[in-house]
C-alpha cells in the first residue's frame, strides 16, 4: 500500500499521515493512479449529492468544480496552463520547453484553464443530480490517461522524475491497473464504461502525438494537461449520452 499512499499524497491534497509515506513508495505510485481517481470521484459525487437539495444549481456546480480543484491542488490545471503556453507559442523545441518550465503563466495558459473550467461547470450543471456517475468516472479516466502516457510515450527529460517512474513500470502492472480502472468504470457506468475508456485512449494518443512532434517527448506538465482534457471530454460525453 506504500504506492497508494504516495499516489494519494501526490495527486491530491488529502492529508496523509507521515507514517504511511515512504521514500520508495513513489516508484510504484503510478499503478495506483486509477484508484486515486476513484477516491476523487467519490468525493465529488458525494459532495454533489449532499448539496443538491440545499443549493441552487449554478451555485452547486461552481462549488463542485471548486472542490475538484481544491482536492487536486490545481496540480493538473497548472500543467495544462504551462502546456498551453508552450505549445501555443509556436516556437522550436528548446524555446517551447523553456516556456513550459517558466513559472509565469501567459495568456494562452489562462485561456486554456478558463475554457476547461467553464466546460466542466456547464457539463455538471446540465446533468444535475445525474452527474454522479460522470463525476466519478472523469477522475478515474484522467488518472488512467496519466498511467498510459507514462508507460507508452517517452519522457523528454532523461533525468526527470517521469523517466524514473516510467522505468519502474512493467507491462503487467499497467495491465493490472487498467483492469482495476475498468472495473471502477463498469461499476459506476455499466455498459457506458466504454465511453470514458475510449475517450481516455483517444485523448491520450492525440495529445501525446501532437506534443511529441514538437518537443520529442512528454513532460509532467503534459501529463496534467492530458488529465484535464480527458476529464472535461468525459463530462461532455456523458451530457450527450445520458
pLDDT tens-place string over residues 38-78: 999 999 999 999 998 899 999 999 999 999 999 999 999 99
pTM: 0.94
Torsion of CA 240, 125, 10, 144, to 10 degrees: -10
Terminal Cα-to-Cα distance of the chain (whole angstroms)? 36
pLDDT tens-place string over residues 165-222: 777 788 899 999 999 999 999 999 888 889 999 999 999 999 999 999 999 999 989 9
The three grid cell numbers given for residue 58, joined into one nine-digit string? 449554478
The three grid cell numbers given for residue 13, joined into one nine-digit string? 491534497
Burial of 52 (0-12, 13-18, 19+ CB in 10 A): middle
User: What is d(CA 182, CA 176) in angstroms, rounded to the nearest whole number?
Assistant: 10
The pLDDT value given to residue 159: 65
The three grid cell numbers given for residue 83, joined into one nine-digit string? 502546456
The pLDDT value given to residue 20: 72
pLDDT band for 106, please (50, 70, 90 cuts).
confident
The pLDDT value given to residue 175: 94
Amino acid at each position: 500500500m506504500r504506492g497508494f499512499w504516495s499516489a494519494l499524497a501526490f495527486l491530491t491534497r488529502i492529508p496523509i499521515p507521515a507514517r504511511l509515506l515512504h521514500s520508495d513508495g513513489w516508484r510504484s505510485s503510478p499503478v495506483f493512479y486509477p484508484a486515486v481517481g476513484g477516491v476523487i470521484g467519490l468525493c465529488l459525487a458525494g459532495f454533489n449529492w449532499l448539496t443538491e437539495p440545499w443549493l441552487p444549481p449554478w451555485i452547486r456546480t461552481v462549488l463542485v468544480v471548486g472542490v475538484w480543484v481544491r482536492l487536486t491542488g490545481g496540480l493538473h490545471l497548472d500543467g495544462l496552463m504551462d502546456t498551453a503556453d508552450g505549445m501555443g507559442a509556436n516556437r522550436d523545441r528548446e524555446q517551447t520547453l523553456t516556456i513550459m518550465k517558466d513559472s509565469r503563466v501567459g495568456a494562452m495558459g489562462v485561456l486554456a484553464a478558463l475554457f476547461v473550467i467553464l466546460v466542466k461547470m456547464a457539463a455538471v450543471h446540465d446533468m444535475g443530480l445525474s452527474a454522479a456517475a460522470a463525476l466519478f468516472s472523469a477522475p478515474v479516466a484522467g488518472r488512467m490517461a496519466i498511467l498510459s502516457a507514462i508507460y507508452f510515450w517517452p519522457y523528454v527529460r532523461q533525468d526527470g522524475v517521469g523517466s524514473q517512474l516510467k522505468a519502474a513500470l512493467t507491462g503487467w502492472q499497467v495491465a493490472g491497473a487498467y483492469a482495476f480502472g475498468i472495473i471502477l468504470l463498469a461499476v459506476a457506468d455499466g455498459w457506458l464504461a466504454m465511453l470514458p475508456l475510449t475517450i481516455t485512449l483517444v485523448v491520450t494518443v492525440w495529445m501525446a502525438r501532437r506534443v511529441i512532434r514538437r518537443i520529442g517527448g512528454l513532460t509532467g506538465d503534459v501529463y496534467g494537461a492530458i488529465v484535464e482534457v480527458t476529464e472535461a471530454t468525459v463530462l461532455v460525453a456523458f451530457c450527450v449520452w445520458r
